């Protein structure tokens, strides 16, 4: 039985090494995205929108809007935000909350049939689109996604600021009516 025990131990050791290497954050296992020291993963928005992580490195959504037309797009993506991930959600509802508006307004998105790939359809899509005239001219606002289902898991009431860095950019300058929260006055 000695050869069997050695083979068994060797197999366990090999499996452990593979598991540790896959989750260790090594360059080889995390090519294509950056890690900030002391922080987890940092991914870039593939289409230039606002990237929101779902779960603990489970998946991502990316939100884009065109302030000239009021068009919005919501992409569902894999954990590394590099590949589309189809959603079983048929028509996600967004609540858009311009600054100072606690209620906001809703935009119901439709799956883009033939979206990212020609085989996408309602209930099996990775791209959702919509339009609302009230979004025209807005440069930053809160977004709440009612529900997105990916890989058998449902995420509800996903709230984020669009663009993600809007508050940081606004800290240093005059950015309109911001009643309801304070910014330090840099002029003294």
pLDDT one-digit tens code per residue, 46-64: 888 999 999 998 999 999 9
> Considering the entire predicted model, what is its pTM?
0.67
- Statement: 43-170 belongs to CATH 2.30.30: no
pLDDT one-digit tens code per residue, 2-32: 554 554 454 444 443 433 333 333 333 333 4
61-70, long-range: CB < 8 A, 24+ apart: 61/145, 61/148, 61/158, 63/143, 63/145, 63/160, 63/162, 65/135, 65/138, 65/162, 67/135, 67/136, 67/137, 67/138, 67/139, 68/136, 69/131, 69/136, 70/131, 70/132, 70/133, 70/134, 70/135, 70/136
Burial class (CB in 10 A: 0-12, 13-18, 19+), 135: buried
Under DSSP, is residue 150 helix (H, G, I), strand (E, B) or coil?
strand
Rounded mean pLDDT, 167-180: 42
Helix (H) or strand (E) holding 95: strand 93-98
Give the model's pLDDT for residue 41.
Answer: 54
Domain-wise residue ranges, the chain? 1-31, 43-170
pLDDT above 90: percentage of residues in the chain: 48
């Amino acid at each position: 039985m000695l050869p069997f025990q050695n083979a068994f131990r060797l197999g366990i050791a090999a499996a452990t090494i593979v598991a540790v290497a896959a989750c260790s954050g090594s360059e080889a296992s995390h090519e294509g995205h950056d890690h900030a020291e002391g922080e987890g993963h940092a991914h870039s928005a593939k289409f230039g929108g606002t990237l929101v992580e779902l779960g603990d490195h489970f998946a991502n959504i990316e939100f884009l809007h065109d302030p000239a037309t009021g068009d919005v797009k919501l992409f569902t993506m894999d954990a590394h935000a590099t590949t589309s991930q189809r959603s079983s959600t048929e028509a996600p509802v967004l609540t858009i909350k311009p600054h100072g508006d606690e209620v906001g307004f809703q935009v119901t998105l439709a799956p883009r049939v033939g979206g990212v790939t020609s085989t996408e359809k309602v209930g099996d899509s990775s791209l959702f689109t919509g339009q609302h005239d009230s979004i025209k001219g807005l440069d930053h606002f809160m977004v709440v996604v009612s529900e997105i289902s990916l890989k058998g898991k449902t995420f509800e009431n996903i709230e984020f600021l669009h663009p993600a860095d809007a508050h940081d950019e606004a800290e240093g300058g005059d950015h309109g009516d911001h009643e309801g929260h304070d910014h330090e006055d840099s002029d003294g």
